[in-house]
Amino acid sequence: MTDTFHGARVVRASPADVTRLAPLFDAYRSLSGAASDLGASLAFLRERLERNEAIALLALPQSAHQSADANSEPLAFVLLYPLFSSVRLCRILLLNDLYVVPAARGQGLGRLLMEAAEDTARAENARWMILKTSPDNSAARDLYESAGWQLQLRLIEYFREVGPTRVDAPSGHDHHVNQRATPAQRLR
């Protein structure tokens, strides 16, 4: 899969791309209130991609006269997780993470990744896509709504933590859950 727009090309990441995806993923996590931990981000992404538990799409820089360098640093990424609906008997993709590096914001990369995610969902035979965002993230909400996504108000979401802290977190530090965040913020 490759889509091109505004000097960027979207490609599906493989486990070999984890080392260049991890810094963006770690920055995204930090922006969302988690403590920065590049090693844990790298391990998490590697495990998800090797087990085919996630789909990562990367926006790579590309000039007008050349294709994107396979080793170039990504400008943005989107991370999708497969789910299923028992009621509708279909596959769903959760658009869980979307991040654009600050220097590349406002150039249409978020929209490019949203379109590529929808193309990926169709290729994966998903019937629906879902996402969550903070009510105060107006830039993201504007993007989603302008791309035709509809606000869901029919369901109420609940959250309950049931697992232990991450085993590879340094003693006394739980990098998996931001203890200062509300349950709704932890789900982002």
Question: What total number of domains does the chain contain?
Answer: 1
In tens, the pLDDT along 80-122 reads 999 999 999 999 999 999 999 999 999 999 999 999 999 999 9
pTM score, two decimals?
Answer: 0.80
Determine the pLDDT at residue 55. 98
> Look-up: residue for tokens 């340094």?
170
Segments forming the whole domain that contains residue 85: 2-132
In tens, the pLDDT along 26-45 reads 999 999 899 999 999 999 99
Give the tokens for residue 136. 């105060």
Give the tokens for residue 177. 């859950």
Is 103 among the domain residues? yes
Is 179 among the domain residues? no
Sign of the torsion formed by the C-alpha atoms of 22, 186, 56 and 47? positive
Number of neighbouring beta carbons within 10 Å of residue 120: 22
Is 151 among the domain residues? no
Is 125 among the domain residues? yes
In tens, the pLDDT along 140-149 reads 999 999 999 9
For residue 58, the domain's CATH number is 3.40.630.30
Is 16 among the domain residues? yes
162: burial class by Cβ within 10 Å (0-12, 13-18, 19+)? Answer: exposed
Is 115 among the domain residues? yes
Buried b / exposed e across 176-185, counting CB within 10 Å, b at 16+?
A: bbbeeeeeee
Helices 18-31 & 38-50, crossing angle to 10 degrees? Answer: 120
